[in-house]
Amino acid sequence: MSITGMLETPGGTIDVEAYLNEDSSMTVKFSLTTPEGRVVKGKFSISSDDGSGEGEIIDSDGNTYRVVLRADGTYEICDSSGRCSS
C-alpha cells in the first residue's frame, strides 16, 4: 500500500511518497523544491513497533546528512564528517 501527494507551501513544493514494507515498517520519501529551484531530498524508514527510524537528507548542494528518529520524539542529525546535533 502506498500514498503519494504534493503540497504547495510558501517555502516550496513538497512531493511525498510513503509505503508499507513487508515487515510492517514504513518508508517515506520526499522532495522539496524551493521557489528558487533548489531541491532537498530525503528518505526515512520508520519502525512499526515504536515509531523510531533512520534515514538521510541530501541538500541542494549535494551534502548528505544521516538522521536518527527516536521513539521519544527526539532526533539526531549528523553530517558526512560525523558532526552531530540533536
Give me the number of domains the chain comprises.
1
- What pLDDT, in 10s, does the model give residues 62-78? 999 999 999 999 999 99
pTM: 0.80
Q: By the 8 A CB rule, do 35 and 49 touch?
A: no
Confidence band, pLDDT 50/70/90 cuts, at residue 46: very high
Range of the domain at 11: 2-85
Give the percent of the chain with pLDDT over 70.
100
Average pLDDT, stretch 8-30? 95
Distance (Å, rounded) from C-alpha 5 to C-alpha 58? Answer: 20
40 residue type, one letter: V
Order across the sheet with 12-20: list the strands: 2-9, 12-20, 26-33, 39-46, 53-58, 64-69, 75-78, 84-85
